[in-house]
Amino acid sequence: MRAVDPAKFEASMVDHEMQNNVATDGLRAINLSSLLHTQVNTLCSLQVSKPQEDFGGTFAETVEEWRANAGQSVLGLCFTTYSGAPVGIVLLKRPPASPDWTPPSAVSLHGLKIAHTFQGQGFGRKALELAIDEARMTWPDATTLILAVDAGNSAALSLYRRFGMTDSGPIYHGRIGLEHRLELSLTR
């Protein structure tokens, strides 16, 4: 994981605000801990669509969740394009920070989001790939990645299933309705 270049991160917001198309040249994962305060604020200003907020919350809420829990058991990642534009976020947790249904050997994934103007360009898939790489590097003892996703969140469900994630059990009654609990082996 590389340190962020503050100048690039700031300059990139001009592109973001102009909603320019950014080539799908891949993503970088940056630890939220290495961002400047202003950069975190920039990340907070990114948005998903209103209906998507019901599923995964806002960027600001995910940053707040990270701030409230940041420590050895919670890793926050910001995704930027190679040109420096911030486009996404995710949190990774280990027990005891993970939900109580998380096995001790698992990493839980939370709040994966790609800003709405950047969706549909392959960034979500790349972000998940980078998150899994980071989970493996940060917690080499972990054997499984787990997450919960609302049954009505067809975009996220499709993304996770295409990645090979499978139901770890029955469908549960979750926060806003039925939710799948999915898992993926982290051992190669």
Ligand X SMILES: CC(C)(COP(=O)(O)OP(=O)(O)OC[C@H]1O[C@@H](n2cnc3c(N)ncnc32)[C@H](O)[C@@H]1OP(=O)(O)O)[C@@H](O)C(=O)NCCC(=O)NCCS
User: CA–CA separation, 25 vs 102, rounded Å?
Assistant: 34
159 touches ligand X by CB under 6 A: yes
Residue 25 neighbours by CB distance under 10 Å? 8
Cα-only R_g, the chain? 16
C-alpha closest to that of 27 among 155, 147, 165, 125: 125
| Binding test (CB under 6 A) with ligand X, winner from 129, 155, 174, 177 | 155
Nearer to ligand X, 35 or 89 (CB): 89
Per DSSP, the three-state class of 29 is strand
Between CA 181 and CA 89 the distance in angstroms is 20
The site map against ligand X for 11-50 (x = CB under 6 A) is -------------------------------------x--
Q: Does 112 bind ligand X (CB under 6 A)?
A: yes
Q: Which of 158, 167, 169, 176 binds ligand X (CB under 6 A)?
A: 158
Residues found near ligand X in the complex (CB under 6 A):
48, 52, 55-56, 112-114, 119-125, 149, 153-156, 158-159, 162
